[in-house]
C-alpha cells in the first residue's frame, strides 16, 4: 500500500537521503509546484567532516547533527518519512521501504557513500569505520574502553595491542583522525590516565599510495606528513593492509603490528539501493549519470553527491566525493527541475572546485585554493571558519565554536564518555544514515 500523503496533482519528487545534496535540492524547490518526499533512515542530517572529533571526544554527537524536519519547517510542499529504503522498482516507479511503498514521478538518489573494504569480510568485521554518528560513538567507546582495560592488563603483548592505534587510509579523514588521536595522547590522556606510561601509546597511519592527501597539492602532501611526524605519528606510505584478525594487522611490507584498534578510512563506495541495474554501477560502487545527473537510460531517476559518478574529460572517474560537489549538484538539479516544469531544456552540470583543506591538529592545517597553497596557523583558522559556517543551525555553530575555544585554551576534550559500551557483534546494527 502506498503511503504518500497528502494527495496532490503536482509532480512527486522522492529524494532518498538527507545529506548535503538532498537538503539543497529540497530547499531550492521550496516555492515550486511539486510534492517533495524525503526518505532517510535517520531523522537528522550529519555533518560528516567533523565525525572524527566526535570519535575522539572533541565534540558531542548532537553538535554536528540537525533534525531534518526542523530544516524544512514551514515548507508546505515537503514531507519527510523516517524510513530505510530497501529497493527501487524503475518499471513500476516505486520505492520500497521498511514502512511501505512510495510512488514517484521523479526519483533522486542522494544516498551518499559507505566504507569500502574491497571485498574483505575480515577487514569489515574487525576494523572500525567512521561514516556515521553511531559509528563515531562506537569508535569513541572502543578507544576509551581499551584504555581502561590497559590499566589493569598484566600481559605485555595484550597491553601493547590495547595501546597501539592504527589508522588505515591517508586521505583527509585518516590524516585528521591521526592528528586528533595524537593530540588526545599528548594533552589529555596523560592527565586522565596518570598510571599509564603515555610513551607506550603508538599511533600509526597506513597509506597505500606514496603520499598522503592524494588529491591535494604536493606542497600540502609534504607538509601534512611533516606535521604528523612532528606530532609523533608513525606515517607509513606505499604499503597496504593484507590482513587483520582482530589481534595483529599485517602489511604488504611484511610488517606486523599487534593492535586491537584499527580505524578504517581507506576507501568509500556508493550506497546503492537494490533495483539499480548492475551495468549502471561503475568504479567505487557509484552510479553512472549523464551531465544532467540522470542515471543513464532513465529520464525520471537521478543521482547526486557521493553515490553519483558523472564522468567528464576533467573528471574521468567522477567528481570528488566531497560536500561542495554534492551541494552544487543538489542546487543545479533543482534548477533543472524548475526548467523542466516550465518546459525549458535543462542545463548540463559543471563543477566549480572551491579548493581542498585538511587539519592535522592545533595550529596545523593545509589549504589548497586554486593555485594558492598555504599551511600552518592561518590555514588552521581558515579550516575552522569554513567548517563552522558549513554547519546547519545557529545552535550547532555556537556549540562547536565554544567547544573549539575551550579546547584551544585548555588543551582538553570535554566528551570523553562511554555512553554505551562498545560491542563488536552489535556495532553495525545502525551504521548508515545518508
Catalytic residue positions?
176
The set of residues, in sequence order, having a beta carbon less than 8 Å from that of 270 and lying 6+ positions away, is 111, 112, 113, 114, 281, 284, 285, 286, 287, 306, 307, 308, 309
Is the Cα dihedral 113, 114, 117, 121 positive or negative?
negative
Q: Where are the beta strands (DSSP E) in 4-119?
A: 12-16, 35-40, 44-46, 65-67, 78-82, 85-89, 94-97, 100-103, 106-109, 113-115
Cis peptide bond N-terminal to 6, omega within 30? yes
In whole angstroms, give the CA distance from residue 125 to residue 245.
Answer: 9
Phi and psi at 193, nearest 5°, equal -125, 70
Is residue 177 within 8 Å of residue 167, measured between CB atoms? yes
Q: Which positions ≥6 away from 344 have C-beta within 8 Å?
A: none
Helix, strand, or coil (residue 111) = coil
Place of cell 597539492: 217
Contacts of 40 by beta carbon, 8 Å cutoff, 6+ apart: 16, 17, 18, 22, 68, 80, 82, 83, 433, 434
In angstroms, rounded to a whole number, what is the distance separating the alpha carbons of residues 5 and 37? 9
Amino acid at each position: 500500500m502506498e503511503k504518500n500523503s497528502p494527495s496532490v496533482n503536482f509532480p512527486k519528487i522522492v529524494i532518498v537521503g538527507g545529506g548535503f545534496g538532498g537538503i539543497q535540492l529540497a530547499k531550492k524547490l521550496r516555492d515550486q509546484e511539486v510534492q517533495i518526499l524525503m526518505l532517510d533512515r535517520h531523522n537528522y542530517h550529519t555533518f560528516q567532516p567533523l565525525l572524527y572529533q566526535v570519535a575522539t571526544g572533541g565534540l558531542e554527537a548532537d553538535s554536528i547533527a540537525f533534525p531534518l524536519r526542523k530544516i524544512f519547517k514551514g515548507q508546505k510542499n515537503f514531507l519527510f518519512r523516517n524510513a530505510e529504503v530497501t529497493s527501487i522498482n524503475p518499471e513500476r516507479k516505486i520505492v520500497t521501504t521498511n514502512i511501505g511503498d512510495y510512488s514517484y514521478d521523479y526519483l533522486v538518489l542522494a544516498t551518499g557513500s559507505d566504507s569500502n573494504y574491497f571485498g574483505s569480510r575480515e577487514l569489515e568485521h574487525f576494523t572500525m569505520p567512521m561514516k556515521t554518528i553511531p559509528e563515531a560513538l562506537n569508535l569513541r567507546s572502543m578507544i576509551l574502553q581499551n584504555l581502561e582495560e590497559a590499566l589493569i592488563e598484566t600481559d605485555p603483548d595484550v597491553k601493547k595491542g590495547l595501546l597501539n592505534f592504527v589508522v588505515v587510509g591517508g586521505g583527509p579523514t585518516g590524516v585528521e583522525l591521526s592528528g586528533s588521536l595524537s593530540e588526545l595522547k599528548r594533552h589529555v590522556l596523560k592527565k586522565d590516565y596518570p598510571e599509564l606510561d603515555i610513551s607506550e601509546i603508538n599511533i600509526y597511519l597506513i597509506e597505500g599510495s606514496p603520499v598522503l592527501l592524494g588529491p591535494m597539492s604536493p606542497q600540502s602532501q609534504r607538509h601534512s606528513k611533516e606535521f604528523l611526524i612532528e606530532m609523533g605519528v608513525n606515517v607509513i606510505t606505499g604499503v597496504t593492509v593484507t590482513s587483520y584478525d582482530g589481534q595483529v594487522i599485517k602489511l604488504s611490507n611484511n610488517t606486523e603490528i599487534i593492535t586491537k584498534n584499527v580505524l578504517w578510512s581507506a576507501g568509500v563506495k556508493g550506497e546503492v539501493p537494490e533495483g539499480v541495474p548492475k551495468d549502471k554501477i561503475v568504479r567505487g560502487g557509484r552510479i553512472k549519470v549523464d551531465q544532467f545527473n540522470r542515471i543513464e537510460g532513465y529520464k525520471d531517476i537521478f543521482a547526486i553527491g557521493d553515490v553519483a559518478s558523472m564522468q567528464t574529460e576533467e573528471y574521468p572517474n567522477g567528481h570528488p566525493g566531497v560536500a561542495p560537489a554534492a551541494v552544487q549538484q543538489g542546487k543545479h538539479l533543482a534548477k533543472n527541475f524548475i526548467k523542466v516544469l516550465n518546459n525549458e531544456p535543462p542545463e548540463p552540470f559543471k563543477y566549480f572546485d572551491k579548493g581542498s583543506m585538511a587539519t592535522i591538529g592545533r595550529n596545523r592545517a593545509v589549504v589548497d585554493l586554486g593555485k594558492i597553497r598555504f599551511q600552518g596557523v592561518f590555514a588552521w583558522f581558515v579550516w575552522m571558519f569554513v567548517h563552522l559556517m558549513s554547519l546547519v543551525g545557529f545552535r550547532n555553530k555556537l556549540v562547536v565554536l565554544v567547544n573549539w575555544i575551550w579546547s584551544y585554551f585548555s588543551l582538553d576534550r570535554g566528551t570523553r564518555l562511554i555512553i554505551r559500551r562498545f560491542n563488536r557483534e552489535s556495532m553495525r546494527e545502525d551504521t548508515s544514515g545518508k
